[in-house]
Amino acid sequence: MEASSNDFEDFSALKERLSVETNRSKRQKFVSNLSVDLFKPRGEVINKVCAVCGMKSKGTFCERCEEHKEIGGAIAKAKYILKIEGAGLGNCDVIEFDVGYSFVESGDEIARKVKKIGGQISQIQILRLNNTDFLEDDVFNQLKDLHSPVSLGFSFLGNVVPLYRGSTLDFGDIADLSKGDSKLGILKMDVDNLGKIFASGLSKEDRTISRISTLSSMLDVFFGGYLNKIAMKHCVYANLCDDCAKKVDSKKREIKIETGEKVYDVPEDELCNNCKSENNRISKIYMVYSGGDDLLMVGPWDTIIEFGKDIRDGFKDFTCNNELLNISGGVFICGAKHPVGRAVTIADEHLDLAKSHLKDGNGEPMKNSIGLFNECVCWDDLRGYQKIGFMSLFELAKKLENRCEKKIISKGFVYSLLRMWGRSFDKFEGDLIKIEKNRITQHSHVPLLKYQLARTVKDKKEWENIESMIKPCMPWIRIPVSWVSLRMR
């Protein structure tokens, strides 16, 4: 978008124009590919097409998608990024306007990588990824061999993937890391009302380029850096020593991946220092992208739901619980062989539902929500509106699962909750405003709930306790029931 120096005097208005143009471009991504003859038959015989983009290809992937695959693999293993300015940089991993970018796995490979690139290098910037300790001896020892002006620094990049023995686990292995049903979870999240925050979140006199840039940079620190820390809390471990392996309840926490090797889903504090080292740790989370104000993650379905909760908690901590800074998410659960592109589209639809979630029966939108299991709920309870949030529903799901494992209640009882929900609430499906009003006023399920509990649970004190947990959550019971049914398979 073109702008004059005068336009920068009202930067918020300029930013708003840019946002409009950006949204228009997003909705017309491929308009430049259209031509008058696009839909006319060409008489060509197409033998093979790329499995990713559908373009003509000699092999499984076209040249462009193969290049993206190689770059993605390099980013996942990279410890450093080299930003190289000059000419003739054809051997860089990515080149833009005489600036090349190359990904390096260790500090002692930097000089060799630069020599391989060749060309007429005028400047090199060495950025250590996700680590502020960039003044390493391995790097310093090679500076004299680079023969170009060099600067050092660090950068944050969301690049956590499930790596084992130098290779990325495939989606089948990732799905097998789930407890219960082997399924994938696709998570999309982004910050609510960010355009509005940039445009009017600051007073007019404070709405300067530097302040807006600082806000943008801090969000990038969260999505590009801090998320890596959250993701690495969700790990499994390989190559345990005999003592640590004996501590593991193999029926619950020993998992076989397709290579036939065993990995262990065990808390880090139960392992010795050697077993919980970085070499033995395998992330369950596959970061497809994370940066700016949004993210896309793939992982075991149950881990993805917990990860989404952790991200929201981390975001509220990062923003000092600012009521105006919130994040919404959408989760889609599918089999390992489900087309990922389609799964991402559905997760995006669930995110859109979360963004349009209604606070009450008057049609007031609120966002700050999560969409999953064909349901949409706010993160926290809204007691003033008698609405139960995801945090309470997730806590109920864990308690029901625990009681199923202890045989206090049966899986049949849990499934019966879904039938009760259907009789009371399913008839308003499709009308969001009626659904929200109905959930607050409808109590026809209560007698049947009491009857089922009296039949199922012998201890009166226990069934009264379970009833008190379930009753306020009944209008949104699909979330806890879906969790338990998938985890107990």
| 312-350: pLDDT as tens digits | 999 999 999 988 899 999 999 999 999 888 999 999 999
User: Where are the strands (E) in 150-204, listed by range?
Assistant: 150-155, 163-164, 167-168, 184-191
C-alpha–C-alpha distance, residues 373 and 482, integer Å: 7
Q: 286-291 and 254-256 as β-strands: parallel, antiparallel, unpaired? A: unpaired
Model confidence, pTM: 0.84
Q: 153-173 burial, b for 16+ CB within 10 Å, e for fewer? A: ebbbbbbbbbebeeebbebeb
| β partners of residue 281 | 237
How many C-beta neighbours within 10 Å does residue 308 have? 26
Tracing tokens 């080292």 back to the chain, one arrives at 277
Q: What is the mean pLDDT of each run of 10 residues along the chain (489 residues)?
A: 79 77 75 66 69 76 84 87 82 82 84 77 88 80 76 90 86 91 95 81 76 87 92 89 77 60 82 86 92 92 97 95 92 93 93 81 74 92 79 95 91 89 72 67 79 82 87 91 93
The region that residue 42 occupies, defined by phi over 0 for left and psi between -120 and 50 for alpha, beta otherwise, is: alpha
Residue 473, C-beta contacts closer than 8 angstroms, at least 6 positions apart: 388, 392, 393, 396, 480
**CA-atom Rg of the chain in angstroms:** 26
pLDDT at 229: 92
What pLDDT score does 251 carry?
47
* CB environment 228-266: b (16+ within 10 A), e (fewer): bebbeebbbbbbbeeebbeebeeeebbbebeeeebbbbb
Q: What is the pLDDT of residue 341?
A: 86
Q: Which residue spans of the chain are classified as CATH 3.30.70.270?
A: 163-377
Structure tokens at 273: 């220092």
Residue 333 sits at the vertex; the CA angle it makes with 327 and 334, to the nearest 5 degrees, is 145
> What secondary structure does DSSP assign to 333-387, as a single string?
EE-TTS-HHHHHHHHHHHHHHHHT-BSSTT--B---EEEETTEEEESS-BGGGTB
- C-alpha to C-alpha distance for 128 and 136, rounded to whole angstroms: 10
pLDDT of residue 58: 79
Provide the pairing of β-strand 327-334 with 369-372.
Answer: parallel
What amino acid is encoded at 307 in this protein? F
Task: Write the pLDDT tens digit of every residue in 383-406.
Answer: 766 788 999 999 999 999 999 999
Q: What is the pLDDT of residue 429?
A: 60
CB 230 within 8 A of CB 311: yes
Q: What is the rounded CA–CA span in Å between residue 183 and residue 337?
A: 9
Question: What pLDDT was estimated at residue 123?
Answer: 86
Residue 53, classified by CB atoms within 10 Å of its CB into exposed (0-12), middle (13-18) or buried (19+), is middle
- 179-213 pLDDT tens trace: 999 999 999 999 998 877 877 777 777 777 888 88
Superfamily of domain 163-377: Reverse transcriptase/Diguanylate cyclase domain (3.30.70.270)
Read off the tokens for 193.
Answer: 């009302």
